[in-house]
């Protein structure tokens, strides 16, 4: 829909040891639609959900938000220390 | 990091009235990292979080998952009926 696809960049050896998680959210409002821009609240919820699965320090989270008339987009980049993940989140 | 950016496609008039939400998650595992692939569980959690803000019917959710040795990616496309959104989710 938004015409983007993943093209992983060349990895520099120093960056290879860490895992990385990238989250991109794009909200396109239909003409005449009155839907509120909920990406700012969604941002905190998405990070909280990710923390159920991996330990993430605040410094390892980079957030970019762009807000246009028709499209708002949110990009969250997270570096994950590459040791064992947290216990699998219990089925809620 | 994964070198993608949003390029909204040409909107066909018939699709303009609906809002659309696209979520792209990409998990790149560092060489030698042993992190589990948690995207499948994250998928359900992300959709549940989105449902706090907008009503979403199951038929309006399109999910694509790609799993490689180094990178797993998850794409969630959601069509949102363009009337008034749910009451804003209470601050939890």
Condensed to tens digits (0 to 9), the pLDDT of residues B10-57 reads 555 554 568 899 999 999 988 766 677 888 889 999 999 999 998 889
* Residue of A5, A19, A73 lying closest to B33 (CB–CB): A19
- C-beta separation of A82 from B32 below 8 A: yes
- C-beta separation of A74 from A25 below 8 A: yes
* A58, two tokens: 């605040």
Is A69 part of the contact surface with chain B (CB cutoff 8 Å)? no
Cβ <8 Å between A80 and B35? yes
- Tell me the pLDDT of chain A averaged across its residues: 78
Q: Examine the pLDDT at A79 and tell me if it is beyond 60.
A: yes
Distance, in Å, from the CA atom of B80 to the CA atom of B61, rounded to the nearest integer, reads: 9
Bridge partner residues of A71 (DSSP): A28
ipTM of the complex: 0.72
* Residue of A4, A46, A80 lying closest to B7 (CB–CB): A4
Q: Whose CA is closest to B71, among A18, A47, A46, A8?
A: A8
Which structural domains are found in chain A, ordered by start? 33-82 (3.30.1070)
Find which of B38, B79, B80, B92 to mutate to test the A interface (most A CBs within 10 Å of its CB). Answer: B38
Local structure of residue A13 (DSSP, 8 states): H
């Amino acid at each position: 829909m938004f015409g983007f696809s993943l093209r992983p960049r060349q990895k520099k050896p120093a960056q290879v040891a860490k895992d990385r998680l990238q989250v991109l959210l794009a909200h396109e409002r239909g003409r005449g639609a009155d839907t509120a821009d909920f990406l700012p609240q969604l941002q905190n919820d998405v990070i909280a959900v990710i923390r159920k699965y991996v330990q993430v320090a605040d410094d390892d989270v980079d957030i970019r938000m762009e807000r246009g008339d028709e499209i708002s987009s949110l990009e969250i980049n997270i570096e994950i220390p590459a040791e064992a993940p947290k216990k699998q989140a219990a089925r809620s």
